[in-house]
């Protein structure tokens, strides 16, 4: 009887997921972000792996929503517009050759906007994009910690995509 009740509950749960358009998770494919690598072009356009300096990062690939609602509708009609990319990198100051400070120190002093290729890899997936840095902010905390933040945005009009 106990097995029958458990089976009925699982069936009801699967039906609710199907009704809502949610696919159940097929276990085993979840991963952590451990082992992630990141490289970014320095001011001269040479890719530098600065993975060890990055303490955390955020990635966003938002899409614009274009409202196309006619006056005959009672709810919005929305279509997808342009895709974008935003990358936020946080790290620890490192002025060794080809490390984070060497990569980002020219961001505030560039006479003209300069794109930077970025490559982020996790597991067998890699995201590459041409980006534009808009800031290289350094912070010295009261405890002596010296950190930086860099924000990058999509720069070349190409939709960023993960490749396997």
Residue 108 — pLDDT band, cuts 50, 70, 90? confident
Give kind and range of the element (H or E) at residue 46. Answer: none
Average pLDDT over the chain reads 87
Q: Is a pLDDT exceeding 70 seen at residue 19?
A: no
Q: Which residue has the tokens 């040479």?
A: 46
53: left (phi over 0), alpha (psi -120 to 50) or beta: alpha
Q: Is a pLDDT exceeding 70 seen at residue 127?
A: yes
Q: Is a pLDDT exceeding 80 seen at residue 111?
A: no
Q: Is a pLDDT exceeding 70 seen at residue 15?
A: no
Q: Is a pLDDT exceeding 90 seen at residue 124?
A: no
Q: What is the fold, at CATH topology level, of the domain defined by 34-163?
A: Pnp Oxidase; Chain A (2.30.110)
Mean pLDDT of 95-110: 89
Range of lowest pLDDT (24-38, 63-77, 143-157)? 24-38
Mean pLDDT of 95-113: 85
User: DSSP secondary structure string, 1-29?
Assistant: -HHHHHHHHHHHHHHHHHHTT-PPP-TT-
Residue 26 — pLDDT band, cuts 50, 70, 90? low
Could you read off the pLDDT of 73-97 as tens digits, one per residue? Answer: 999 999 999 989 999 999 999 999 9
3-state SS, the chain, equals CHHHHHHHHHHHHHHHHHHCCCCCCCCCCCCCCCCCEEEEECCCCCEEECHHHEEEEEEECCEEEEECCCCCCCCCCEEEEEECCEEEEEEECCCCCCCHHHHHCCCCCCCCCCCEEEEEEECCEEEEEEEEEEEEEEEECCCCCEEEEEEEEECCCCCCEEEC
147 versus 12: the higher-pLDDT residue is 147
- How far apart (Å, rounded) are the C-alpha atoms in residues 106 and 21? 48
């Amino acid at each position: 009887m106990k097995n029958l009740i458990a089976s009925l509950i699982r069936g009801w749960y699967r039906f609710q997921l199907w009704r809502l358009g949610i696919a159940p998770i097929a276990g085993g494919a979840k991963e952590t972000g451990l082992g992630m690598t990141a490289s970014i072009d320095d001011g001269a356009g040479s890719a530098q792996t600065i993975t060890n300096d990055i303490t955390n990062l955020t990635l966003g690939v938002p899409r614009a929503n274009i409202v196309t609602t006619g006056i005959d509708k009672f709810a919005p009609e929305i279509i997808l517009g342009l895709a974008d990319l935003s990358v936020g990198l946080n790290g620890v100051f490192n002025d060794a050759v080809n490390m984070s400070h060497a990569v980002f120190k020219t961001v505030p002093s560039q006479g003209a906007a300069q794109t930077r290729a970025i490559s982020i890899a996790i597991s067998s997936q890699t995201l590459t994009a041409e980006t534009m840095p808009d800031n290289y902010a350094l912070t010295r905390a009261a405890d002596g910690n010296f950190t930086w933040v860099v924000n990058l945005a999509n720069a070349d009009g190409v939709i960023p995509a993960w490749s396997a």
